[in-house]
Amino acid sequence: MRVLVVEDQAELAEDIAEGLRDQGIGADTAYDGAAGIEKALVNRYDVVVLDRDLPRLHGDAVCAALANASSEARVLMLTASGTVGDRVEGLNLGADDYLTKPFAFEELVARIRALARRRPSSPPVLRWHDLVVDRARRNVTRHGDVVSLTRKELGVLEVLLVADGAVVSAEELLERAWDEHADPFSRAVTVTVARLRRKLGEPELIETVVGSGYRLR
């Protein structure tokens, strides 16, 4: 999963992003509305955490622009105002959920995961033959046995499952399962896929397509 945090309080934005990374969620940041809309339209995000009161371009305008661009990213709007009128207005602009500041980080993470599961291409339970991934419970089984995966391993597996057998490049895996701070020249994807293969067991599920990437078989 990859999330964009658009928040003009830089320290808060980085704290949220760092907390999400600790949860195995790729997280990028933007400190104003203009930078936020640029990143949101260039990169593929599952969820955009959007502060409403932003400089340069108001959060309402960012939300409306994402809705008009038919972005697949779900929008979680943050605001210091918790009135019913403000919540209704934000939802009418295209936001999918609304959270009032201050908030508990655990609730923010839960809402982000819930929104990600609502994306059209992202069902809550992913299956590939005898492999089952319950995204809500972060639970993986194969042959009915529980498979213990790290957050990055699970992130890579989710991307491959959503691709439904199509080839996914190493670059796309790095983009989807990590974030903009990932080193494009690192061997992170290769090492993570190798660990996944070992943990998922036989018969081997992940196929390397030379020069192209990886797919499930």
CATH number at residue 150: 1.10.10.10
- 10 and 88, same domain (yes or no): yes
- 112 and 9, same domain (yes or no): yes
- 22 and 104, same domain (yes or no): yes
Dihedral (Cα; 25, 195, 43, 90), 10-degree rounding: -30
- 75 and 132, same domain (yes or no): no
- 98 and 197, same domain (yes or no): no
The number of distinct structural domains making up the chain is 2
pLDDT of residue 205: 92
Q: Facing residues of 134 across strands?
A: 125, 139
Range of the domain at 79: 2-117
pLDDT of residue 54: 93
- 150 and 202, same domain (yes or no): yes
Block residue for tokens 């928040």: 7
- 100 and 22, same domain (yes or no): yes
Block residue for tokens 């790290």: 150
- 134 and 102, same domain (yes or no): no
Mean pLDDT by 10 residues, the chain (217 residues): 93 94 89 94 90 91 85 87 67 83 93 79 77 86 92 88 88 78 74 93 92 90
- 178 and 100, same domain (yes or no): no
Last residue of a domain, one of 95, 117, 139: 117
Rounded to 5 degrees, φ, ψ at 143 are 55, 25
List Cα–Cα distances, 177 to 3, 26, 30, 99, 108, in angstroms: 10, 6, 19, 25, 19
Last residue of a domain, one of 117, 152, 174: 117
Q: What's the predicted TM-score (pTM) here? A: 0.65
What's the rounded Cα separation, in Å, for the pair 121 and 124?
A: 10
What's the rounded Cα separation, in Å, for the pair 94 and 91?
A: 5
pLDDT of residue 72: 81
Where residue 108 sits, what CATH number does that domain have? 3.40.50.2300
- 51 and 149, same domain (yes or no): no
pLDDT of residue 138: 81
Block residue for tokens 């998922």: 200
- 28 and 132, same domain (yes or no): no
pLDDT of residue 67: 82
pLDDT of residue 208: 93
Last residue of a domain, one of 91, 117, 143: 117
Amino acid at 58: H
- 8 and 107, same domain (yes or no): yes
